[in-house]
Amino acid sequence: MGEGFGEREKSRSILIAGAGPVGLAAALELARRGYRPRIIDDGAGPTAMEESRALGVNARTLTLLSPAGVAERILAAAQPIERFRIRSDKKILVQLDTREVKGRFGAICGLSQGATERLLMEALSAHDISPEWQTAVVAEAISNFQKPEITLRRIDGTSETVRPDILIGADGAHSAVRKALGAGFPGKALEAFFYLADFRYAGPIDTHYAEISLFDPGMVGRLPVTADVIRYISTLEDFESRIVHPAAIARKIWASQFRINFRHVEPMAKGNVFLVGDAAHIHSPAGARGMNLGIEDACWLAWLIAEGREQEYSALRIPAVKLVLKQTYGLTRLVTMRNPLAIAVRNLFAPLFLRFGSARRTLLRSVAGYDTPRPPWIDWAE
């Protein structure tokens, strides 16, 4: 049917709940195809620049956002991550050069979620579309999945009942849309807490690599945020005492802690109600796949809507979601294991395994996000 599916089709009302990177990507891709989606969020504005959980933007996401002109803006603002390594004590177990990935874009770069959201909003504003902030979905249950009815409540106490032709839930792990669908969110949580802290440095630092240091048990990860900020993420509560800082600290910007869950909803749609991003699946930050997988969901859904094939969405996305959840679970268990024998086996065989070019290429394609199906509406090679 193609992207020119018809003016009547383009006039369908579409409501997107959630104006994070996933909801914004969905709105932008729909607007680019001639739709006028409405996008709401119960927050006061985009994610604070200094409290951004998602950092990695992979090559798949850059490919998806390139037709809208956002990929180039991300690259101009981001920190390229050219090397990745895992070390145990002084021994390097894994070392990858992300520049080995062939294609238009490097495998991965670092940019705060807040910055990514602002770049998406800037592109969306060119279509005269802006998020409606402090507007929450209030829905006990959705009974008609073909023409969903929900209530929107604003901060001033006023409310509005809407019946969009299409409802997209991009409203995060505690999604009101998912709950109104009555959809379960099965899965499991890891027992351990994860801790993070962002430090700004007063002197020059190298932001071109990411690293995981294993303390057997426990780990501390190092990720670039900006040219002078590094994030450390760990399973150890006392991790800050283990950091080897690369320069004098200007200040600690942000600290947080969280538990990792592995959950996904199936199916990811009922009738004309669709779930994308964290509303549909959550997992470990290992591999930096969370935001990127959600943006994939959003772009695929926008394309399918334009093709008149949106009922294929769940069947097309579930295999990719399961693949990424399986991979991130395996990576997370690999760097958080506590059994001394398992640790010894890992430290012995991981370097041997990655000496094989095929194993290294497979891991790099995963980092780049190239292990999920190619977007058929983009015609350049990856």
Q: Which among 321, 320, 316, 288 has a CA at the least distance from the CA of 302?
A: 316
| pLDDT tens, position by position, 97-143 | 998 888 889 999 999 999 999 999 999 999 999 999 999 998 778 98
User: Rounded to whole angstroms, what are the CA distances from 84 to 62, 143, 171, 209, 222?
Assistant: 19, 48, 32, 6, 10
What's the total number of domains in the chain? 1
**CA angle, corner 117, sides to 42 and 7, nearest 5?**
80
373 lies in some domain: no
Exposure on the CB side of residue 322, measured as CA atoms within 13 A: 9
| pLDDT tens, position by position, 339-354 | 888 888 877 777 777 7
* pLDDT range class, residue 2, cuts 50, 70, 90: very low
Q: Is the dihedral of CA 350, 352, 354, 358 positive or negative?
A: negative
282 lies in some domain: yes
Percent of residues in the chain assigned helix, strand, coil, to nearest 5: 35, 25, 40
* pLDDT range class, residue 338, cuts 50, 70, 90: confident
For the cut 60, the answer to whether the pLDDT of residue 6 exceeds it is no
| pLDDT tens, position by position, 280-331 | 999 988 778 889 999 999 999 999 999 999 999 999 999 999 999 998 888 8
329 lies in some domain: yes
**CA angle, corner 36, sides to 31 and 38, nearest 5?**
110
For the cut 80, the answer to whether the pLDDT of residue 63 exceeds it is yes
What's the rounded Cα separation, in Å, for the pair 85 and 238? 22
CA 230 to chain centre: 19
14-17 and 38-40 strand pairing:
parallel
For the cut 80, the answer to whether the pLDDT of residue 9 exceeds it is no
* pLDDT range class, residue 198, cuts 50, 70, 90: very high
179 lies in some domain: yes
Residue 285's identity, in one-letter code, is P
- The token duo for 165 is 């032709």
**Contact status, residue 179 vs residue 188, Cβ threshold 8 Å:** no
- The token duo for 78 is 């981001």
Angle of the 21-32 helix axis to the 113-125 helix axis, nearest 10: 20
**Contact status, residue 270 vs residue 145, Cβ threshold 8 Å:** yes
Beta strands in 219-349 (DSSP E): 219-226, 229-234, 249-264, 269-270, 273-275, 281-282
For the cut 60, the answer to whether the pLDDT of residue 4 exceeds it is no
377 lies in some domain: no
* Beta bridge partner(s), residue 271: none
Structural domain range at position 232? 7-368
- The predicted pLDDT at position 380 comes to 67
1 lies in some domain: no
What's the rounded Cα separation, in Å, for the pair 191 and 175? 23
301 lies in some domain: yes
Hey, how many other C-beta atoms are within 10 angstroms of the C-beta on 291? 26
374 lies in some domain: no
- The token duo for 223 is 């990720």
CATH code of the domain in which 230 resides:
3.50.50.60
Q: Tokens 């990856």 — which residue?
A: 382
| pLDDT tens, position by position, 12-32 | 999 999 999 999 999 999 999
**Contact status, residue 109 vs residue 57, Cβ threshold 8 Å:** yes
